[in-house]
Amino acid sequence: TSEVIKELEGIRWYVSGDKGHIDEDGFVTIVDRYSRFAKIGGEIVSLGLVESEIQKVVDEESHIAITAIPDAKKGEKIVLLLEGSQDLDELKEAIKSLDMNPLFVPSSYYKVDEVPKLGTGKADFKGIKRLALELEQ
């Protein structure tokens, strides 16, 4: 319990592993998980941020998942999985138009039948990483 309950300035907090912010009304907004970061060339990259930026150019019938896998040169690299009708080459071109930091641009892209999901319908991040590793072989 002492690992997840921390006291800061007289207030007890539950440490969930989520990244978020508290608004002026005291509401907490979760924006990402601290476990969903990659270290690329010594820089910390939020996979959630990469995913939300790229989502801007994904068509309505398609779905993406972003993960990071080991890379011999940079430590880790970003892999994008695409499920749906969108053409992979068109998506790559659309991503170039986003003018993102080069660290945020995926190194590998794969079209998949289905992005792994949990029974709740949420993204299965472990399954996504496992699939990306298999596809990189």
The per-residue pLDDT for 38 is 93
Break the chain into its structural domains and give their ranges: 35-136
Element spanning 126, H or E:
helix 125-136
The per-residue pLDDT for 33 is 60
Q: Which residues, in sequence order, are bridge partners of residue 110?
A: 81
The per-residue pLDDT for 76 is 97
The fold for domain 35-136 equals: GMP Synthetase; Chain A, domain 3 (3.30.300)
Segments of the chain with pLDDT less than 50? none
Walk across the sheet containing 63-71 and list its strands. Answer: 63-71, 75-83, 108-112
- Distance from C-alpha of 37 to C-alpha of 46, rounded to nearest angstrom: 5
The per-residue pLDDT for 14 is 74
pLDDT tens-digit series, residues 69-89:
999 999 999 999 999 999 999
The per-residue pLDDT for 28 is 78
